[in-house]
Amino acid sequence: MPSLTVISQEISIYFGIFVFITGTIGGSFNIIVFLSLKTFRESACVFYLTILSIVNIGILITGQLTRILISGYNIDWTQTSLFYCKFRIYSLQTSTLISMTCICLAILDQYFSTSLPIRYRQLSQIKIAHRICGLIVCFWAVVNCPYLIYYTHIQSSSVQNQITCSTTNNAFLQYVNYVSAISLARIMPLIIMGIFGFLSHKNIQRLSHRTLPIIRRELDKQLTLMIFTQAIVACLIILPYIVLYFVMMIPNLDSNTLTQLKFVSSLCSAIYYLYFSSPFYIYFCSSSRFRRQLKYVVFDIYVRQCRPQQIHPNQIAPQIS
């Protein structure tokens, strides 16, 4: 019977490849659809979702692809390159925080857009979204600079010539464990998604009592349903990861229990990347309007442009003067 280590390794390889491929394809489709339709290009909520899709592809490349190479092919660039050791943890943490912030901003924008007070609806503007996203990217890029400073190559004391990419600064390690990786990147986004996703869903039920253009009303219903479904899926994926993270912090665990927890942790980590690869498929399954928009963009815009134009012969007989 294969050991838990072998099973977790196989899951990391094959399930990881599946998540990486489907996530990259799905994220690319999101970007194409969102940028191809004028209705989406003028929506602040969709702008946040576009940035989220771009960042999620980067997370899958730096995070999931590296895990696949380490587990399947024993290729660990974080051990051979100090630059990649620092760059991977920095870009992965920064991209994760940007992604979580974007989904929270998208939910907040839908709450403002569907609210009754006009002062709330005025906050849902594409120009404001551009500025906020620029500030958010710069903010997290600066806040996470300590990852570039404190993460380095450390010689393992248990295995000879074994190098790990980690930090020896205890204060920064506590910040990473309890503030950056858990509170900012997981717990707080889930709270915001849960509260404002529910409020946006309640606002949508009252849209029929307001005089709005039918196109705007249908777009708000579509986006709220897509984001509300994504928030539910995010809770189902991330909550087990958070619970297990705190269980692993319990001191004095016996070796057998620790081995089993490490196996469960590898499963949760593999499932965790589903959050970054699933948005396109959530939108596709939850919104029939999105499916029609996808079909229109792919077949009526791009496939038709790729077809060679047919030159029809002149069927009108020339007139002889």
Q: What is the mean pLDDT of the chain?
A: 86
Q: For each of the domains in the chain, give its residue range(s) and CATH number, in order of start.
A: 4-155+162-299 (1.20.1070.10)
Task: Return d(Cα 35, Cα 268) in angstroms, integer.
Answer: 33
Which residues are registered as beta bridge partners of 152?
A: 166
Exposed / middle / buried, residue 250 (Cβ in 10 Å: 0-12, 13-18, 19+): exposed
Does residue 190 have a pLDDT over 50?
Answer: yes
The answer to whether 165 touches 150, Cβ cutoff 8 Å, is no
pLDDT band at 181 (very low <50, low <70, confident <90, very high): confident
pTM of the model: 0.89
Does residue 183 have a pLDDT over 80?
Answer: yes
Higher pLDDT, 258 or 161: 258
3-class SS at 183?
helix
Tokens 């929270």 label which residue? 104
Average pLDDT over residues 142-149: 94
Lookup: tokens for 131? 């500025």
Residue 29's contacts (CB-CB under 8 Å, 6 or more residues apart) are 280, 294
Per-residue pLDDT reduced to its tens digit, 86-104: 999 999 999 999 999 999 9
The answer to whether 279 touches 52, Cβ cutoff 8 Å, is yes
The answer to whether 137 touches 98, Cβ cutoff 8 Å, is yes
pLDDT band at 32 (very low <50, low <70, confident <90, very high): very high
pLDDT number for residue 252: 75
Per-residue pLDDT reduced to its tens digit, 244-287: 888 887 777 777 888 888 888 888 888 889 999 999 999 999 99
CA distance to 71, 187, 259, per residue, from 235 (Å): 27, 10, 26
In the chain, the N- to C-terminal Cα span, in Å, equals: 93
3-class SS at 166?
strand
pLDDT number for residue 316: 47
